[in-house]
Amino acid sequence: MTIAEMIEKKRELGMNNEMISEASGVPLSTVQKVFGGITKSPRKLTIQAIEKALRSEEEKSNKKDMSRTKYDTSDRLSGNPTLRESAGNYNVLPKERKYTIDDYYALPEDRRVELIDGVIYDMAAPSGMHQRIIGDLHILFRECADQHGMPCEVFLSPFDVRLDRDNYTMVQPDLLVICGEYDVEGSIRYEGAPDFVIEVLSPSSRSKDQLLKLYKYSNAGVREYWIVDPKYKIVTVHRFEEEEYTPQKYDFEDKIPVGISDGKCVIDFARVGKRPFR
């Protein structure tokens, strides 16, 4: 089973990285890197363990499906047994429609939205302070990457990210960092998990950024996620690569180390959101 096939099987089974890690015995950080495209050539034993976990879950799912059906005994004597759905199935309400990337691209260009697990979320216009913070952070991250020779690109929203490489999720992080080879000119979006993501909270996005996107970024294989809260002047840092990591909180006067740079880069938040910028 190729990695692409495992990603598709994972989606079909509704499994997340934590479930796969538990079922396979592969460390969560390793599973995140495999499905996030960070590890380009996983070890054979790692692939075999993940594949075995997926196939085992598929077998369980198939057995459950079979248990929901039964033979129509009236046809058994004829030698042509038929399958009849359990009567209980008819009491299930139809699922709401899941929107796709095709729906996302069909929307008017002036309507800013994100597509997450088939649900469309409208995005309010960012405030002036929101833009100032992101602009300053873009400069600081760009300066740091250049200073330390990091092979990374820094991008600002709007920038499409097909986070799960499926047909149901397209997000636009406020700021993202992609390290390694990336064809900037030949792509209309980024496929997979960026190395680093920042979201700046606004009244309309607080819940989504702190809960839903936290889960999505972690599950997809993002290595580090910063949540910047202008209201309370707090930065919450999630370094997903660390074993049994604990979120760390900083204030707007702190110097915050960038985990993906192995401590080389430090962002001085005293220089963020203020004027003049120096």
Q: Is 121 domain-assigned?
A: yes
Q: Is 102 domain-assigned?
A: no
Whether residues 84 and 118 share a domain: the answer is no
pLDDT of residue 100: 94
Tell me: pLDDT of 244 over 90: no
Q: Is 98 domain-assigned?
A: no
- Tell me the C-alpha distance between 275 and 278, whole Å: 8
Which of 69-73, 172-176, 213-217, 263-267 shows the lowest per-residue confidence on average (mean pLDDT)? 69-73
Rounded to 5 degrees, φ, ψ at 250 are -130, 160
Which residues lie below 8 Å from residue 243, measured CB to CB, with a gap of 6+? 27, 29
**Mean pLDDT across 231-257:** 92
Tell me: pLDDT of 274 over 50: yes
Give the range with max mean pLDDT: 6-15, 26-35, 151-160. Answer: 151-160
Q: Tell me which of 38, 59, 91 is where a domain ends.
A: 91
**Mean pLDDT across 242-260:** 91
Q: Are strands 248-251 and 119-122 parallel, antiparallel or unpaired?
A: unpaired
**Mean pLDDT across 271-275:** 81
pLDDT of residue 7: 87
Say which CATH number the domain at 257 has. Answer: 3.90.1570.10
Rounded to 5 degrees, φ, ψ at 271 are -95, 5
pLDDT of residue 252: 94
**Mean pLDDT across 194-221:** 92
Whether residues 138 and 212 share a domain: the answer is yes
The model's pLDDT over 28-53, given as tens digits with 9 standing for 90+, comes to: 778 887 887 777 678 887 888 898 98
State the Cα torsion 177-178-180-186 to the nearest 10°.
Answer: -140
The model's pLDDT over 62-115, given as tens digits with 9 standing for 90+, comes to: 776 565 544 444 444 444 444 333 343 434 344 467 899 999 999 988 888 999
Whether residues 140 and 85 share a domain: the answer is no
Tell me: pLDDT of 10 over 90: no
Tell me: pLDDT of 229 over 90: yes
What mean pLDDT, rounded, does the chain reach?
A: 83
Pair 13, 38: CB distance under 8 Å: no
Provide the β-strand partners of residue 234. 229, 251
Whether residues 58 and 117 share a domain: the answer is no
Q: Which residue has the tokens 């740079």?
A: 261
- Tell me the C-alpha distance between 220 and 254, whole Å: 29
Residue 248's pLDDT band (cuts 50, 70, 90):
very high
Angle (nearest 5°) at CA 210 between 170 and 25: 80
Whether residues 76 and 120 share a domain: the answer is no
Q: Please tell me the total count of domains within the chain.
A: 2
pLDDT of residue 75: 44
pLDDT of residue 175: 96
Tell me: pLDDT of 16 over 70: yes
Domain of residue 255, residue span? 113-271
Give CA 62 to chain center in angstroms: 28
Q: Is 108 domain-assigned?
A: no
pLDDT of residue 17: 83
Whether residues 172 and 261 share a domain: the answer is yes
